[in-house]
Amino acid sequence: MVVTLFRHLVRRAVLWVGTLVLLLLVVAGNPVAADEPSPPKTTPQLKLRIVGGLAGLHQYTQNEEPFWTHELARLSNGKYSAEIAPFDRAGVPGNNMLRLLELGVVPFGTLLLSSLQTAHPRYSAIDLAGLSPDLASLKKVVSASRNYLENRLRTQHNIKMLALYVYPAQVIFCKSKFGKLADLKGRRIRVSSATQADFLSALGAVPVVTGFGQIMANVKSGNVDCAVTGTTSGNTLGLHDVTSHIHTMALSWGVAMFAANKTAWDNLPPDLKALLSNELPKLEAAIWAESELETADGLACNTGAANCRNGRRGQMVQVHHDAADEQLRKTIFANAVLPRWLERCGPDCADLWRLTIAPVTGIEPKAAP
């Protein structure tokens, strides 16, 4: 009984905090002095608090942050503004973001869909390892899944999905020579998710789950032979100095959702909702274009190509995604990655797949091996 009472009190406290955050959101920018009333304002002010994407990456520094800290005020003629913090520096654990949005504790936030693979695997379907080897494939999958995501998040979690962002391609960096995916059999490879582990296990490699910050230490120590990470983030880390070969196929991407607690969204002024509904799709498109450029630039910089723009030039060998790799990718995805995802996701996820992603990929679900 004590435990039940404690849980009840904790839930009430969290809901109270969420309510307080929403109230602060509505009244922010309109302080009232204790001793005398504030002078009337001809233009009411409202300042939003945003939890954005990963710090240091162009999605955040060149797109999200400028939009919220500068463009919003410009587009609204100073009527509305915002402050933003990246989620990895805001003290918000990525795997808790969905719940915090649902409660309204975070009114506006960004989360990686891969962080939901354990608690809510159905939301990670659009970025399973081996599903989208290039950006064109990913765009088809995301387009086919968008309506489902919007409707389910609204009805099941009281969350309004506002945009879907994407990070540069996650590719394989290796310390020694390989010419095709099959050559990676037996190698220890750093991964960041269960679905990447599924793919590489089926390939015959040994997946090693580590955080992004531990990649270099694991490569240098010999704990891993290869690492899966972004083309540009790997260059930023310095992987081009400690690895020799890089594969061009995107193993996965890193799709992120920007969303709002629906109650917080509904309480916004109508003109602000209209402005954001018009501008956020433009921000999404800019981030996708940036991701495409960064994917190519990361490959160029790691291999020392003349068209390297923003990274440090390495001397890596580029291993091209050829017809044999493509066939192997399809086989592994259909026979291992998808069945294992379905096993984690539950019985109704096969129908979800058939209704959304199967029509644009031609891949039908199978039972787990």
CB 263 within 8 A of CB 154: no
Q: Name the maximum alpha-carbon separation found in the chain.
A: 76
The per-residue pLDDT for range 159-192, each reduced to its tens digit, is 999 999 999 999 999 999 999 999 999 999 999 9
The per-residue pLDDT for range 276-323, each reduced to its tens digit, is 999 999 999 999 999 999 999 999 999 999 999 999 999 999 999 999
Q: Give domain 2-30+43-112+138-165+254-295's CATH architecture.
A: 3-Layer(aba) Sandwich (3.40)
Alpha-carbon span 222 to 121, nearest angstrom: 32
Residue 5, H or E segment? helix 2-27
What is the mean predicted confidence (pLDDT) over 120-136?
Answer: 96
The per-residue pLDDT for range 84-106, each reduced to its tens digit, is 999 888 776 667 899 999 999 99
CB 237 within 8 A of CB 215: yes
Q: How many CA atoms lie within 13 A of 362 on its CB side?
A: 3
User: Is the pLDDT assigned to residue 29 strictly greater than 70?
Assistant: no
User: Is the pLDDT assigned to residue 4 strictly greater than 50?
Assistant: no
The per-residue pLDDT for range 242-284, each reduced to its tens digit, is 999 999 999 999 999 999 999 999 999 999 999 999 999 999 9
Which segments of the chain belong to CATH 3.40.190.170? 2-30+43-112+138-165+254-295, 170-253+297-361
User: Is the pLDDT assigned to residue 41 strictly greater than 80?
Assistant: no
Tell me the average pLDDT of the chain: 88
Compute the C-alpha angle 238/225/192, nearest 5°.
Answer: 75
| CATH fold label, 170-253+297-361 | D-Maltodextrin-Binding Protein; domain 2 (3.40.190)
Query: Do β-strands 226-230 and 188-191 pair in parallel, antiparallel, or remain unpaired?
Result: parallel
Amino acid identity, position 170: Q
Query: Which backbone phi and psi does 86 adopt, to 5 degrees?
Result: -70, 145
Q: What percent of the chain is modeled with pLDDT above 90?
A: 79
